[in-house]
Amino acid sequence: MYTKRKFKAFDMAMWTRYETLLFIILSIIWVSAYYFADLTWLKIPWTPLALIGTAVAFVIGFQNSSAYGRIWEARKIWGGIVNTSRTFGMFVQVMLTNEHTEVKLSKEELQHEIKTLTYRHIAWMTALRHAMRVPKPWETIMNEKTNQEWDVKPPERISSLEEDLKPYLSQEELSSVLGKNNKQTAILYQQSYHLQKLKEQGVIWEFAFLQLEGVIEEFFTLQGKSERIKNFPYPRHFASLNHYFMWVFVLLLPMAIVPQFAEIGTEFTDNYPLIGDIFIWFSIPFYVAVAWTFHTMERIGRTGENPFEGTANDVPISTIARGIEIDLRQNLGETKEEIPAQFEIKYDVQF
């Protein structure tokens, strides 16, 4: 999701503090074993470790690039929903007229039809964002300790779909929608049937009806693209193996770094015996920095794999949908008191 300010270094440190502490403990254990137990034989050459590190870096780079691609595609899809929704709202308000009707509708009846179509579209966005927030087995970022302790939850984890749909659909339509597996598709079908009925009454001219059906078709397309990202995860053989490779590299890294610092320390022994004796301990911050960099980059990739999960770095579809709703209802002439407020920003995060 998007934040109001830049991601501060303190936030990053807090986000990775448990792993950083683990790296510090691991490095202290390795250095202590090498220094006090005289385990000078416990080492590996740099060449094979460098090859592993290079492979891990390439895979992490590929993962991050793919994850960013998924996030960017999701943002473009919902950007399309924003633009098409505004177009639909405009079409509905100007294309519903008495120009071709045999039985003229009153201004209030026309406004009621416009409001019904507009509210049904808001219901479609509501159903779609709820569907995008449904937890999948491969979505695990919400279960991480940092997300749980900060209580970062999207609105869809707080209120139910039925509760959110009630203001926009009649009781009959609501019961019909809730009985379907794909509720957002059911709402678009209802929308199309309603447009057909209005066309038969002459409220919508045939050419206008075709244009409105084209907009409904575009909603189906955007919905399908969004569902594709949600239901098809980043391939697990890439994500899982990359995670394991990263940990193999991080755990083997001290076996090369610690002996290297010990050898450098011996070069200071003659002229600076104290520095030469303790120089091996300087490998701790160096190891922590390298291990933290590889782990954090891999974690960033994992965080971006599922852009609709609802974490702090995902696409803010709840905010986008509510923003569209506010625009549409303002253009219906509703007052500020009648329109729900934008979702609350928590920890500078939009959901």
pTM, entire model: 0.88
Question: Do 268 and 276 meet the contact criterion of CB atoms below 8 Å apart?
Answer: yes
- Positive or negative CA dihedral for 38, 39, 44, 50? negative
pLDDT of residue 6: 47
d(CA 207, CA 221): 21
pLDDT of residue 133: 94
Per-domain boundaries in the chain: 9-331
d(CA 96, CA 201): 11
Q: What is the residue whose two structure tokens read 């049904």?
A: 120
**Rg of the chain's alpha carbons, rounded to an integer?**
29
Q: What is the residue whose two structure tokens read 């390795």?
A: 30
Q: Is 181 helix (H, G, I), strand (E, B) or coil?
A: coil
Regions in the chain scoring below 70 on pLDDT = 1-10
Q: What is the residue whose two structure tokens read 């120089």?
A: 279
Question: Which among 237, 217, 218, 253 is positioned nearest to 79, based on CA atoms?
Answer: 218
Could you read off the pLDDT of 101-131 as tens digits, one per residue?
888 989 999 999 999 999 999 999 999 999 9
Could you read off the pLDDT of 23-60 as tens digits, one per residue?
999 999 988 888 888 777 778 888 888 888 898 899 88
